Amino acid sequence: MDFLGFVTQNLEKFLNYTAFANMSWGNVIMILVGLFFIALAITKQYEPYLLIPIGFGIILGNIPSVPGLQIGIYEEGSVLNYLYFGVIKGIYPPLIFLGIGAMTDFSALLSNPKLFIIGAAAQLGIFGALILALLFGYTPTEAGAIGIIGGADGPTAIFLSSRLAPHLIGAIAISAYSYMALVPVLQPPIMRAMTTKKERTIRMKPPRAISKKEKVLFPILGILLTTLIVPSGLPLLGMLFFGNLLRESGVTRRLAETASGPMLDIVTILIGLTVGASTQASTFLTVKSLGIFALGALSFMIATFGGVLGVKIMNLFIKKPENKINPLIGNAGVSAVPDAARVSEMIGLEYDPSNHLLMHAMGPNVAGVIGSAVAAGLLLSFLA
């Protein structure tokens, strides 16, 4: 081989190594999806803390590389593969729950404990989607993972799908986060259709002040009452209540600040980026993924229906008019915190500009977080 031949051979080898040589149309489509997510986050500010890492992750995951160089997320030994370990082993979601617990004030729920039940009613979306997924031919474990999208909780969806259907994790996570951002679009028509004008203007009693003792008791009683019945929910519920105890105990301020601040940010970056990168065109662009997106939208709608219906049923049993619950906070039973509560406030103000529902809606909203984590634990124990 002469010098020219050597140079030509290496040049050819290099050209074969470039992403252009290995690019498929699927990769191009996924890169465009990633760019769209980034644009959506920057221009419309839809869930920027999630859509930017996910969008960028999609771009990372869809730049093709030659197998064997330990670059791709599914390639053993690559950096992305190590980071992805936290997703497939279900490490990141409980850490996110720790942060959520440390930053969430459960006062709105504790001041009116009836709102716990709305958080349960809205979980109808999970089981409605599970039945639909089975009807559409998904396996029971896949159906369970798809159903949890109806819980409207990204970390819970990632946690359960990593255990039940790891091959669908990317589609499920992206579907869950996308619909969480689309809550202001998906929920209002159902809320309006299910309520009368009179119901929409119900004024609820202002929430009472919650003592410190009650706030400290909440995580302790909460962990005992939930995980003693559903131990499989321990990773999520345990971390949620532990984070909340750090916050409410008043003596671990630094730990609570770290859990709800820098640590939550780090885990959010890692989970967003790796979930995005897991959406390689070859695994993501499938008929199953399209089905997951359709079922995800339906599950959010069923969840909203369940929440509003739950309030209407509860109102039948509440005799005193001043204790009635405005059904517009029923949608907040899905755990898309605080977007779902904002939707309640927005629709409530349309019909009575002085009727602020935000604080009332935060109650079922945080109850929904507990409800979806319990549901995830139950599905895990039945299907894993």
304 lies in the binding site for another protein (CB under 8 A): no
Closest approach of another protein to the CB of residue 303, in Å = 12
CA 192 and chain centroid, separation: 24
Can residue 88 be called a binding residue for another protein (CB under 8 A)? no
Would you say 382 and 233 are in contact if contact means Cβ atoms under 8 Å apart?
no
How many CA atoms, within 13 angstroms, populate the side-chain half-sphere of residue 298?
15
Structure tokens at 200: 């929409």
In the complex with another protein, which residue's Cβ is closer, 19 or 294? 294
Helix (H) / strand (E) element for 376: namely helix 358-383
Judged by CB, which is closer to another protein: 192, or 312? 312
For residue 243, give every residue at least 6 positions away whose Cβ sits within 8 Å of its Cβ, in sequence order, or none.
97, 98, 99, 100, 101, 102, 103, 104, 256, 259, 260
> What is the Cβ-side half-sphere exposure of residue 342, based on CA atoms within 13 angstroms?
10
How many residues belong to the site for another protein (CB under 8 A)? 46
- If one asks whether residue 216 binds another protein (CB under 8 A), the answer comes out as no
Q: Can you tell me the distance from the alpha carbon of 369 to that of 97, in angstroms, rounded to the nearest whole number?
A: 9
206 interacts with another protein by CB under 8 A: yes
User: How much of the chain is helix, strand and coil, in % rounded to 5?
Assistant: 75, 0, 25
* Residue 327, preceding peptide bond in cis (omega within 30° of 0): no
Rule CB under 8 A: is residue 167 a binding residue for another protein?
Answer: no
**With CB under 8 A as the contact rule, which of the stretches 65-73, 87-95, 130-138, 342-350 interacts with another protein?**
130-138
Stretch near another protein under the rule CB under 8 A, chosen from 38-46, 272-280, 290-298, 372-380: 372-380
* Structure letter (DSSP) for residue 43: I
Q: Which of 80, 183, 311, 367 binds another protein (CB under 8 A)?
A: 367
CB of 356 to another protein, least distance (A): 11
Among 230, 309, 346, 349, binds another protein (CB under 8 A): 230
When asked if residue 148 is in the footprint of another protein (CB under 8 A), the reply is no
Contact between 117 and another protein by CB under 8 A: the answer reads yes
- Rounded Cα–Cα distance for residues 109 and 106 (Å): 5
First to last CA, the chain: 59
Shortest CB 214 distance to another protein, Å:
6
When asked if residue 275 is in the footprint of another protein (CB under 8 A), the reply is no
Q: Please give the Cα distance from 337 to 345 (Å, whole number).
A: 13
Which residues of this protein are in contact with another protein, per CB under 8 A?
110, 113-114, 116-117, 119-121, 123-124, 126-128, 130-131, 133-135, 139-141, 143, 206-209, 211, 214, 217-218, 221-222, 225-226, 229-230, 367, 370-371, 374-375, 378-379, 382-384
